[in-house]
Amino acid sequence: MKFEKLALIGCGLMGGSFALALKQAQLVRHVTGFSASEATRQKAFALGVIDSIAESAAQAVQGADLVLVAVPVRAAHLTFAAIAPALSPNALLMDVGSTKADVVAAARATLGERLPCFVPAHPIAGKEVAGVEHADADLYQNRQLILTPLPSNGLRKIAQAHDVWEAIGSQVITLTPELHDATFAAVSHLPHLVAFALINAIAQQPKGADYLSMAGPGFRDFSRIAASDPAVWRDILLANRQQVLHQSALMRKALDDLETAMTEGQADTLEQLIAQASHTRAQWRLGSGVADADS
Amino acid sequence: MKFEKLALIGCGLMGGSFALALKQAQLVRHVTGFSASEATRQKAFALGVIDSIAESAAQAVQGADLVLVAVPVRAAHLTFAAIAPALSPNALLMDVGSTKADVVAAARATLGERLPCFVPAHPIAGKEVAGVEHADADLYQNRQLILTPLPSNGLRKIAQAHDVWEAIGSQVITLTPELHDATFAAVSHLPHLVAFALINAIAQQPKGADYLSMAGPGFRDFSRIAASDPAVWRDILLANRQQVLHQSALMRKALDDLETAMTEGQADTLEQLIAQASHTRAQWRLGSGVADADS
């Protein structure tokens, strides 16, 4: 498996890292890139992430046998519409969006007879810093990658998508778009939402800056995801809002239980609730989904 | 500054790390230890964390010029009561509790004329694993340490407490017990409470285990503190419940703001709220309280 030309639509952290990973694995001959921002295009080129600059998304995909759309999820619709007419019927088209039902709907609405080219993908990887300057050839190494294939994808197309991600070190799991969105509402979107809320709640207090100046390593790790890219997370929270709000309601209920035990001084109940959480978290291992899927 | 004898009451992660740090810095000639659990006492001795085993807290402090009480905060009252009669008038007595107003109240109620010996301390350091087997001589290196001195502490006693922690690598900040508890309700106790709630909310769902198996590095960091010791955190959340519940209410309000923007599809408002959090967190640096205090 070697690709002649990767078209990268969106030259940010995720897309740039994918291009660098493919280059490092010698899986691609040429990378052309397009980003809405001229400055980003130039930066990606200067950093060697892309080998040529395209003037439009449609131009980028011409003759490309591999296309990665790495834009905030709300921009997927317009991007697909722009590239559909220029897309080669043999191309493998993927995205890296953190939500899948909305991206699949956008693809169905725009890709027409090129729909079978599109294998939706979501790498469970990232950094709290955005931008192509943080792109990293090893970002996807030892990370899980979710594919949510469409009924119209041929088996060969799905296998090809599988192989690309495995070749750059990812462990591939297949889900339906709906199960994907329910899963990541719980384990990713809600934690982000809560981290945003907690930081804002502290910072808005008169002594908030003083409080923050004394925070320790527990706070550092807990709140790292709050530094994520606002445009990316605006789109994710809007696209998956129903599932995220559902998970938030469940979290508030669990918080109620803990707070009731605190208010009423029920030490045993409180310890039990904490022990449940502590035990669950202590048993948890990153990437265990792969082992489960294989077993 | 060199101590003849450190009495360690509570040979867990925090106490054990303090003993190892003092030994590494050659600041203590002999460490004697007492823990409620016989197995813990034996383990601490076998690991070389303590040089001798005391049969009671009172026996441990006899002749000790340095005493560290490192027990869950609710146990501070009984511990102080047990050691007060045996405490040398020249000893420096400190704790490592994550709450201070309650520990100070316990000290006032129990220490009698030995109250001036007690300089309350809270190291902003820890691990998500408990137990003396995880004790680490470098746990307090480059970490902030909060002292909340009492009016009856002499300046020499406070300076001595300051010097011990600085000698093992900590950066010392002085606060009132009340400001300490308000600060850590916001930046430590609430994050723990929320992490417990979120883990419980996910785990209680029918597909919770599947969801958790696919969680990524963002979840890993966000939820690390949920694995903390249940007895320790039961006591902290009960001791500081008023401040923690206040902070939780503020967090729920900030969460309401984000959720309203999601529900009503207000993309700009949502992005603005996320950008606030993202900017605050991106600017934040671990240990910045020291620089502020010095300036």
Tell me: the pLDDT tens digits for A6-16?
999 999 999 99
Torsion angles phi and psi, residue A145, rounded to 5:
-130, 125
A245: chain B residues, CB-CB within 8 Å: 259, 262-263
| B 116-145: CB under 8 A from A | 124-126, 128-129, 143-144
Per the structure, the count of domains in chain B is: 2
Mean pLDDT across A279-294: 74
Q: Is there a single domain that holds both residue B284 and residue B169? A: no
Are A60 and A121 contained in the same domain? yes
Contact residues on chain B for A247, CB-CB shorter than 8 A: 201-202
Last residue of a domain, one of B175, B195, B217: B175
Domain that holds residue B265: 179-294
Q: Does residue B46 have a pLDDT over 60?
A: yes
**What is the least distance, in Å, from the CA of A74 to any CA of chain B?**
11
For chain B, what is the mean pLDDT? 95
Q: Using a CB–CB cutoff of 8 Å, tell me whether B219 touches chain A.
A: yes
The average pLDDT across A171-186 equals 97
Q: Which of A194, A214, A233 sits opposite B173 (nearest CB)?
A: A214
Pairing of strands B28-34, B52-53: parallel
Same domain, A127 and A222: no
Both B164 and B186 in one domain: the answer is no
pLDDT for B99 beyond 90: yes
Question: Which of B175, B206, B236 is the last residue before a domain boundary?
Answer: B175
In this structure, the answer to whether residues A196 and A282 fall within a common structural domain is yes
Per residue in A238-270, pLDDT (tens digit) is 999 999 999 999 999 999 999 999 999 999 999
- Both structure tokens of A110: 């725009």
pLDDT given for residue A288 in this prediction: 78
The reply to whether B12 and B147 lie within a common domain is yes
A128 lies in the same domain as A267: no
Q: Note whether A276 and A210 are same-domain residues.
A: yes
Q: CATH number of the domain at A240, please.
A: 1.10.3660.10
Do residue B161 and residue B235 come from a single domain? no
Residues of B whose CB is below 8 A from A270: 234, 237-238
Same structural domain for residues B198 and B160?
no
Which chain B residue lies closest to A74 (C-alpha atoms)?
B267
- Co-location of A195 and A115 in the same domain: no
Select from B136, B158, B175 the last residue of a domain: B175
Edge-to-edge strands, sheet with A121-123: A121-123, A144-147, A171-174
CATH no. for residue B82?
A: 3.40.50.720
Who contacts B159 (Cβ-Cβ below 8 Å, separation ≥6)? none
CA distance B225 to chain A (A): 6
Please, are residues B108 and B77 in contact by the beta-carbon 8 Å criterion?
no
- Distance between CA atoms of B6 and B114, rounded to whole angstroms? 17
Could you tell me if A27 and A70 lie in one domain?
yes
Residues of A numbered 70-99 whose beta carbons fall under 8 angstroms of chain B's beta carbons: which are they? 74
